[in-house]
Amino acid sequence: MRRTAAIVGVGYSGFRSISPDLSYKEMMYEAAAKAYEDAGVDPQRDIESFVSVAEDFNEGTSIFDEYVPDQIGGALKPVHTIPGDGIHGLIAAYMQLLTGAMDIVMVEAHSKASNALTLSDVMAYAMEPIYNRPLGANPHFIAGMEMNRYLHSTGTTEEQCAQVVVKNRGNGFLNPSAAHGARVDLEMVLSSETVFYPLKKLEISSHADGAVVMVLASGEVAEELTSLPIWIRGVGWCNETPSLETRDWEGATYARKSAEMAYGMAGIRHPWQEIDFAEIDDTYAYKELQHMEALNLCRKGEAGHLVQEGATELDGAFPVNPSGGTLGVGHLLDASGLGRALEVVLQLRGEAGERQLGEVETGLAFGWRGVPTTSGAAVVLSV
Amino acid sequence: MSAKIESFPGTPLSQADLDAGKVLTTYWKPKLEYGWDAGVAISRYLEELKNGRIIGIKCSRCRRVVVPPRVVCEWCWEPMNDWVYLQDTGTVNTYSICYIRWDASRAKEPQFPAVIWIDGASNAGFLHLLDEVDPDDVKIGMKVQAVWKPAEERAGSITDIEYFKPL
Ligand SMILES: [Zn+2]
């Protein structure tokens, strides 16, 4: 029988458009100190392994893992860094617990997006260098192309996509740690500049700085540490082929496969019935709808209607991105997915303040690595 | 064994072939700029360098005094905010002598990067450069002192100390 594991502590610093008062190390320290306090653990005495998530180009430092241990209490301990989404890091930590070799493991991810002064260039360097990059187009066009195909194949409307922005930035308004919460109306979104047809300016999330840390523990240890462990019921992750020339432009296959794996592990057959809410990547507004369908939270072409009818609002039948999502909280680079998982934990613990959902027992978090990738990771969490 | 083989199978590739564009290569020059926020601990450290002073920080649990300062002791996970001014003298822990520069050009004068344990700090101090010393005379354990830039040229940077010289 598979070992069980739970999230027993969370901490975060941020999220803010800029953070000139703190170094990235101090931001990581703040998040880690809060998470350890929350879990009631001492990193040096109790935590057996440390997983961090970082991308050298985002940090401006090669072999970034070298600069990780001190501020998370991991000096002289097993530490490693992976490039990926924060949920990939969460899964890496979880797998260490599943081996039986570890009982308490932590995961950290952060964003100092404000310090990467040529972030749009860094994004462009994710493009295939020989036959894609020389064309010189801003890589957001990939989202424009995908949105175009998604609308074409599902009948989803531009208004429905814009409604995601209204909802998520509105939810962010109720979240004190969201950097980009705002009351915007449909007209403001629809009349904002079309920057990568059919994608509009307000449909693209803005970056934020911040750090997220979680402490994970194996089943029995988790129950000793807290009266409210948040159980990891299923994880899944998937990369499609990177090729822009041949990929699936309609259905976010990476999300579908990630979810199938996670649901299979969690024993979930009817996700829209067995899951109460979701925090899923909305780096671009249409992505929330496309991801909802790929994650089997509704049928193909249905997500747009659900958002329009208010079904994914805080008081709707299936709330999506109660935190405000990436549009409301801010895009946290490699920490974005962990930010989604953080909200699932807070909601399940009943600690989400003004945006708290009633009676939630199971939530889904899904992260995507952004353009041009087809890289996603999902986790199903339950009280 | 290969010395006995006079001709290898396959088509050899020469520099001339590369120069003539017979091998296709795509070039890209990255544009990368970063502005790192120094944060609480390092901002104070840099500010004090600008003042011509070295400041460290003391851990209340293990009593180590470390420089550069940090907000948490990495050995005992104790928050630190007990600031301590330190001497600008210290001892060479280890060093190397570089005859090749950062850009791989040959150095006319060798560089002496060294780890200097500052007096009053607990086996901590600077990674900095030594100067006013001959390669034959550099020794592990030698006493050194900071040579500061003139006050009006100091900018709140590690290079506000130009180098360390033998005492
Ligand atoms: Zn200490």
- Side chain identity, residue B46: L
* pLDDT tens digits along A130-168: 999 999 889 999 999 999 999 999 999 999 999 999 999
Q: Is A135 on the interface with B (CB under 8 A)?
A: no
Check residue A323 and give its pLDDT: 98
Pick from B30, B35, B72: CB nearest A115: B35
Check residue A161 and give its pLDDT: 98
Which class is B39-166 in CATH? Answer: mainly beta
Residues that place a CB less than 5 A from ion ligand 1: B 59, 61-62, 73, 75-76, 78
CA distance B1 to chain A (A): 39
Mean pLDDT within B106-130: 95
Check residue B2 and give its pLDDT: 64
CATH code for position A32: 3.40.47.10
Distance CA A236, CA A88 (A): 9
Contacts of B30 in chain A (CB under 8 A): 121, 125
- Kindly state whether residue A302 falls inside one of the protein's structural domains: no
8 Å CB contact of A75 and B40: no
Q: Is B29 on the interface with A (CB under 8 A)?
A: no
Q: Quick one: what percent of chain B has pLDDT higher than 70? A: 99
Residues in chain A predicted with pLDDT less than 50, given as ranges, are none
**Number of independent structural domains in chain A:** 1
Check residue B95 and give its pLDDT: 98
Q: Tell me the pairing of strands A49-53 and A104-111.
A: parallel
Pick from B31, B40, B79: CB nearest A118: B31
The pTM of this model reads: 0.95
Pick from A29, A73, A117: CB nearest B71: A29
State the pLDDT confidence band at B4, using cuts at 50, 70 and 90.
confident
- Kindly state whether residue A212 falls inside one of the protein's structural domains: yes
Check residue B1 and give its pLDDT: 56
Residue A171, both tokens? 């939810």
Among B84, B91, B88, B133, which Cα is nearest to B112's?
A: B133
Cis bond upstream, residue B68 (ω within 30) = yes
Q: Please report the ipTM that was assigned to this predicted complex.
A: 0.92
* pLDDT tens digits along B44-78: 999 999 999 999 999 999 999 999 999 999 999 99
SS (H, E, C) chain A: CCCCEEEEEEEEEEEECCCCCCCHHHHHHHHHHHHHHHHCCCHHHHCCEEEEECCHHHHCCCCHHHHCCHHHCCCCCCEEEECCCHHHHHHHHHHHHHCCCCCEEEEEEEECHHHECCHHHHHHCCCCCCCCHHHCCCCHHHHHHHHHHHHHHHCCCHHHHHHHHHHHHHHHHCCCCCCCCCCCCHHHHHHCCEEECCEEHHHECCECEEEEEEEEEEHHHHHHHCCCCEEEEEEEEEECCCCCCCCCCCCCHHHHHHHHHHHHHHCCCCHHHHCCEEEECCCEHHHHHHHHHHCCCCCCCCHHHHHHHCCCCCCCCCCECCCCHHHHHCECHHHHHHHHHHHHHHHHCCCCHHHCCCCCCEEEEEEECCCCCCEEEEEEEEC
- Kindly state whether residue A82 falls inside one of the protein's structural domains: yes
8 Å CB contact of A23 and B72: no
Phi, psi of A40 (to 5 degrees): 70, 40
Residues in chain B: 167
Per-domain boundaries in chain B = 39-166
Among A72, A90, A75, which Cα is nearest to A33's?
A: A72
CA distance B43 to chain A (A): 9
Structural domain containing residue A11: 5-117+207-225
